[in-house]
Structure 1
């Protein structure tokens, strides 16, 4: 048996070693680089999510329903990176020395918290659609709905990722590895397809459709040119702000309040599209791709997927937990954009309020 490979041959089947990289010639040098990178992701993610949660709580002194969804996103991100110390330990020891319990929870916690993150992003996108397209001045979600949504997100994520906890086990050959050992290959295929559909494709579709509706509402011509829509929304915002400045000396028309309200939502849309959709698609696609490559490798012996490749894909996805709060905090701080654009803070009027000069 070639010990340089990342496979252990048991009977006629080969098991992927995941984070255990077997017998690399440059083990120390490579592991040092890996440790530095993933530790940086861990520290930045913890600091960014903690800081963003504090910023959101401070900025919205009375915690609203939308705030709880946002805080849930930060909690999921923190849970997502909480397994990084275990990953670092395995990269150094190579052989699995953390015990059966850690083997059962490592990929399960990563997978479950990742599912919570994605599902929460989809829930936020639905809430934004309700608030923006209906021009609501009151919260789109009531406390009962938020509680039910959060409960559903965590239960759904825990159940869909459960097979990873059940079927990850420690196998002893020349050394110990923590690997996924399904009792039935058909079940493995069904679960992979179902999980990718329910926990990635469906939330991604919800996010894209939700923000596309807002984009169409803001500018109907953007339905065929999404990138052009980003630019047109920005110029729409600037144009509305200039119009607002011109009307400051006099009384604006009665429809101006609604017009400005939509413009502020356009600003949030531009931010949210860039933060959620792009980072979601770019940083989550590789982990699902390599999952199917590992599945295909189980049936195609010539398809080589290394543990190092898996490690870097997971690290790239974990970096999304650091990127999310950083970008969100930047967008939150940029609540001063109306001041920079219009030279004053303008508060949108409710539909039932009169317009004052």
Structure 2
């Protein structure tokens, strides 16, 4: 969103001084601009670096070539692509309060933004299904969820997200019926893709349906995992052995479920404000102040940097893999077959 002033002002700055109908530019002090660039630049680098580590770790270490981890790598790829293609331009738009890259690239940029965000939602939904079967039916899981099945899930997630996002934005279906409002809010130097009520409702459903699916599955998963933990504890007490292979695998699986569950909760926290703002704008003629809208958008972007931090806190194998990658040992020695699991 870009702020337009209703009354002309001789001292006002424009995004394009020599172009009629140019947007007004908000003047920030040098200190605020520099601070904003530093903060947003750090967030972008954190998103790129963390998710790149996840992708390299899972791709390089053979022990991590599991269906679940391949889905996690694809999720990290979506977040990495967001940081690479969307965040740098969004940073400039936020600080400069102008869009300098043209209308066509604005639509392309917005389409990519939607694609990566929907891809993340669908990936999380598929990961929850994967974990549900792994915990509730561990004997059938290796037969049902193989690497090719994960590949199929990934293909569906990416294809749906890209086709849906680009088709809405580039066909103009998003602003059908609200052209007068779009024209009133538009100016040269803005990049605001508005959505009518129909597409907002549909997009909200595409967020809520996977969201409630994930919540329902994880509620069942945690109940089953808790029951299994009690059974293992009872069996361990009876056999006086608490460190069998099945116990270690069971602990690792339950820890994986908790970690991914935390990632899902983080996703809900970071995405809920944006969903509320978008719905409010669609039904109340876009009343959200531009600065508030941009802050909410960047709060949502922050979710792409959070997942690698969650993995580093709760996955010992990820910390171990990062040490190998950062120390460049993988370039000197063949570490692809090393054991990353300490339990």
Note closer, same or farther for the CA distance 1:323–1:236 as it changes in structure 2 (3 Å cut). farther
Does the 8 Å contact 1:236/1:263 carry over to 2? no
Q: Which residue of 2 aligns with 1:125?
A: 128
Task: Tell me if 1:193 matches 2:201.
Answer: yes
The answer for unaligned runs of 5 or more in structure 2 is 7-21, 176-181, 320-340
Worse overlay, 130-139 or 151-160: 130-139
Q: Which residue of 2 aligns with 1:38?
A: 40
Among 84, 106, 118, the alignment partner of 1:103 is: 106
Does the 8 Å contact 1:132/1:262 carry over to 2? no
1:68 CA displacement: 2.1
Whole-Å separation in 2 of the counterparts to 1:164 and 1:63:
36
Note closer, same or farther for the CA distance 1:56–1:244 as it changes in structure 2 (3 Å cut). farther
Note closer, same or farther for the CA distance 1:98–1:211 as it changes in structure 2 (3 Å cut). same
1:140 CA displacement: 4.0
Whole-Å separation in 2 of the counterparts to 1:151 and 1:64:
17
Task: Tell me if 1:78 matches 2:80.
Answer: yes
TM-score normalised by L of structure 1: 0.70
1:130-188 residue CA offsets vs partner (Å, 9 max, x unmatched): 11111237364234422321121112112332323444899797643222356xxxxx2
1:291 CA displacement: 1.0
Q: Which residue of 2 aligns with 1:229?
A: none
1:236 CA displacement: 5.2
Whole-Å separation in 1 of the counterparts to 2:53 and 2:250:
29
SS at match of 2:315: helix
Worse overlay, 205-214 or 163-172: 163-172
Q: Which residue of 2 aligns with 1:178?
A: 191
Task: Tell me if 1:314 matches 2:282.
Answer: no
How many corresponding residue pairs?
Answer: 296
1:217 CA displacement: 1.6
Q: Which residue of 2 aligns with 1:284?
A: 271
Alignment RMSD: 3.7
Does the 8 Å contact 2:67/2:150 carry over to 1? yes
SS at match of 2:192: strand
1:263-284 residue CA offsets vs partner (Å, 9 max, x unmatched): 44322222222222x1011011
1:95-135 residue CA offsets vs partner (Å, 9 max, x unmatched): 33211222111221111101101110110110111111112
Among 244, 248, 255, the alignment partner of 1:267 is: 255
Among 151, 160, 179, the alignment partner of 1:156 is: 160
SS at match of 1:179: coil
Whole-Å separation in 1 of the counterparts to 2:226 and 2:65:
32
Q: Which residue of 2 aligns with 1:247?
A: 241
Task: Tell me if 1:214 matches 2:216.
Answer: no
Task: Tell me if 1:6 matches 2:3.
Answer: yes
TM-score normalised by L of structure 2: 0.73
1:193-226 residue CA offsets vs partner (Å, 9 max, x unmatched): 111111x111111211111111222346xxxxxx
Does the 8 Å contact 1:240/1:260 carry over to 2? no
Q: Which residue of 2 aligns with 1:142?
A: 146
Whole-Å separation in 2 of the counterparts to 1:237 and 1:329:
29
Note closer, same or farther for the CA distance 1:144–1:156 as it changes in structure 2 (3 Å cut). same
1:57-91 residue CA offsets vs partner (Å, 9 max, x unmatched): 34434733333211110110012223111112223
Task: Tell me if 1:332 matches 2:315.
Answer: yes
Whole-Å separation in 2 of the counterparts to 1:237 and 1:307:
54
